[in-house]
Amino acid sequence: MTKPLYSRSTHSELEPLTRSVNSGTQFLMVEDRADAPLPMAEAPIAEFPAHCHTGPVVAATLSPLLGFFTLVISHHISRLSSALDQLVHAYGYWIPGSQGSGPGGGIGSYSGKETLALAVWGISWLLFHQLWKRQDFSLRRWLPVFAAGLGLATLGLFHPVIDPLVLALAGLAGLP
């Protein structure tokens, strides 16, 4: 029931360690030897699964990225007309201060933008986590996609860069 484990001691020699079971909890203890230094304190060791799936990692990184894109898109939609601004603002009426109360006025449609972004983030994380919790994705392929998405979403907040595209898309959709 015991397996020898090895650890480097302060004397640069390998000391055999044994794993003992005490009331269901595993501890590492120095094997009793005459020349062994004082036994190390019993410390519980963590048991990790042999393989962790990467689907939850992708879900946890894709979800805030989608929330960030939602924030950018709802921001630009609200700038196209006052009717669209009121539509976006309506999602955030539940937030205190969103309708002009307080000494500095309200935060306006930003409350709706944040509400939409948080809703997309939370719902997509729950959904993707459930769908991908036993899936394996290549993190080497995902990381550049995530970094590019983060860069594009950030670029979407710079008006001189994104406004011509937003106005062109709005014109194609027949929006003012």
Taking Cα atoms as reference points, which of 34, 39, 47, 38 lies closest to residue 18?
Answer: 39
Per-residue pLDDT of the chain in tens (176 residues, 90 and over written 9): 454 444 444 444 444 444 444 444 444 454 555 555 555 555 555 565 667 899 999 999 999 999 999 999 999 988 888 898 899 999 988 888 787 655 666 788 889 999 999 999 999 999 999 999 999 999 999 999 999 999 999 999 888 888 888 888 888 988 76
Query: Residue 6 has what pLDDT?
Result: 45
Predicted local distance difference test score (pLDDT) of residue 11: 45
pLDDT digits (tens, 9 = 90+) for 48-70: 566 789 999 999 999 999 999 99
Does pTM top 0.85 for this prediction? no
pLDDT (0 to 100) of residue 20: 44
- Model pLDDT, residue 37: 54
Quote the pLDDT of residue 30: 46
Q: What is the pLDDT of residue 139?
A: 92
Q: Which residues contact 59 (CB under 8 A, 6 or more apart)?
A: 124, 125, 128, 129, 131, 132, 133
Residue 41 gets which letter from DSSP? Answer: P
